[in-house]
Amino acid sequence: MTTTFVGLPRDSFRILHVSTGNVCRSPITERLTRHFVTERLGILGGGLIVESAGTWGHEGAPMEANAETVLAEFGADASGFTGRELLDEHVIRADLVLTATRDHRAQVISMGHSAGLRTFTLKEFTRLVNAIDPATLPSLEEGLVTRARALVRAAAALRGWLLAPTAEADEVYDPYGAPLPFFRSIGDEIHQALDPVVTALTGVPART
């Protein structure tokens, strides 16, 4: 799948989820992000674009069957997904890159394109977002894109001050080839990490 970043409108905010093969973790994270935003706002809109790719991406491959099952159990849509290899243009277009592991983050940053300030592991970003006072962010009335950009700036400013308790705390481990129960545990991890991020993005908490 080829994309172009020429003339990208600046009234959009693009989230890129990155894992290794782009058939397990990053597809789950991509589709759960879309699902949770839609749950809160009624639609996936406001200029928000959510996609994924893999550092060793299986270009054109379907999502792993167990990943599809996990998404279905969350009520999220897994249809129409095809894997992508991470390309320079994906990083250039992204306003926020969320990776499964620290190694993925390092690989994205090594590609250049001033990616350092907007690339985090998912769990790192969650930790930083939890420390941000929502009252300091623009309201949703000012636009989802404006709020999202402010959130990334605030998280980047906190990096270095709020360190992970352990190195493993920022990792989402690869379930590739594992049985469904392990996929479910990874899905739960991703869900718990995404919930405060989507709440901060949208200004709307999850339904109880």
Terminal CA-to-CA distance of the chain, rounded, Å? 38
Query: Residue 91 to residues 108, 120, 156, 201: CA-CA distances in angstroms?
Result: 7, 13, 17, 20
How many angstroms separate the CA atoms of 43 and 64, rounded?
26
Which residues, listed in sequence order, are joined to residue 19 by a DSSP beta bridge? 54
The pLDDT value given to residue 74: 97
Length of the chain measured in residues: 208
Which residues, listed in sequence order, are joined to residue 16 by a DSSP beta bridge? 51, 97
Which residues, listed in sequence order, are joined to residue 15 by a DSSP beta bridge? 50, 96
User: Which of 77, 125, 80 is closest to 100 using CA atoms?
Assistant: 125
Q: Which two tokens mark 116?
A: 């350092």
pLDDT band at residue 205 using 50, 70 and 90 as cut-offs: confident
Tens digit of each residue's pLDDT (9 = 90 or more) over 103-157: 999 999 999 889 999 999 999 999 999 999 999 999 989 999 999 999 999 999 9
pTM beyond 0.85, yes or no: yes
- Average confidence score pLDDT of the chain: 92
The single-letter DSSP state of residue 64 is: P
The residue with tokens 């623009």 is 138
Higher pLDDT, 165 or 26: 26
| Continuous segment of H or E residues that includes residue 18 | strand 13-19
Which residues, listed in sequence order, are joined to residue 48 by a DSSP beta bridge? 13
